[in-house]
């Protein structure tokens, strides 16, 4: 049972400002179990109550999990006065209050990014202790060597002395690699390759755990993750 105020429910589920939700309720735009309700403070069971807004049903989700194919040049942030953020790209029908990106992808890094309002889930995803893999495709400005595989497997020591967890490097072409890491230090992949004298020209995250970026999801587009999708992260 999930008891909520009606205005809070409308605000959270539809991404409306709380004052706007109250106004719309006062105007009779919201029904609960088939009856118009004009009291924003009405308490009801969000899991069982049938709510409509302007005639359209409002589905209850305690938390929302969005998968985005992050485009280049977009910030992994909730807001920025000058630059476009990943939250700016979320379609109106997916927006709600409290959303934030899980971890960070650099401005010019593309690929799989999860956006949610579930803080516990986000902590599990980014905590090194959970050992959840993140796999990237990196295009480099120099040639890869076979002995670099062993360097990554043993754990790269960054220029400032920070030791990274062992990582899996797979050479796909002379300057293209697939890299799987189990943590997310600041600019980690660029810094790891930097210790080998290589710069990263392009970086794309393809998966978290066994959850892969859908091949038909265009950059900047989003999709809602199901419980089955989320379970793949922990495989």
Active site residues: 106
Distance CA 93, CA 14 (A): 7
Evaluate whether 235 touches 143 at the Cβ level (below 8 Å): no
Burial class (CB in 10 A: 0-12, 13-18, 19+), 45: exposed
Evaluate whether 205 touches 112 at the Cβ level (below 8 Å): yes
Read off the DSSP letter of residue 226: P
Look at the alpha carbons of 182, 183, 188, 194 in this order and tell me if their dihedral is positive or negative: negative
List 164's β-bridge partners, or say none.
none
Side-chain-side CA neighbours of 228 within 13 Å: the count stands at: 0
Residue with tokens 């072409």: 173
Distance CA 170, CA 148 (A): 10
């Amino acid at each position: 049972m999930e008891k909520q105020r009606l205005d809070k429910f409308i605000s959270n589920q539809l991404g409306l400002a709380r004052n706007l939700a109250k106004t719309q309720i006062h105007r009779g735009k919201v029904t609960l179990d088939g009856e118009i309700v004009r009291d924003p403070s009405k308490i009801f069971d969000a899991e069982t109550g049938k709510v409509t807004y302007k005639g359209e049903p409002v589905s209850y989700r305690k938390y929302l999990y969005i998968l985005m194919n992050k485009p280049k040049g977009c910030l992994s942030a909730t807001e920025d006065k000058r630059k476009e953020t990943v939250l700016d790209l979320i379609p109106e029908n997916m927006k709600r209050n409290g959303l934030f990106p899980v971890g960070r992808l650099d401005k010019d890094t593309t690929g799989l990014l999860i956006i949610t309002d579930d803080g516990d889930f986000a902590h599990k995803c980014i905590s090194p202790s959970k050992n959840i893999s993140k796999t990237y495709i990196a295009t480099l400005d120099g040639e890869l060597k076979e002995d670099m595989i062993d360097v990554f497997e043993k754990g790269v020591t960054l220029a400032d002395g920070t030791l990274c967890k062992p990582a899996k490097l797979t050479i796909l072409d002379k300057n293209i690699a697939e890299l799987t890491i189990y943590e997310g230090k600041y600019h980690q992949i660029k810094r790891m390759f930097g210790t080998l004298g290589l710069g990263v020209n392009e970086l794309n995250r393809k998966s978290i755990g066994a959850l892969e970026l859908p091949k038909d999801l265009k950059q900047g587009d989003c999709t809602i993750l199901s419980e089955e999708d989320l379970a793949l992260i922990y495989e």
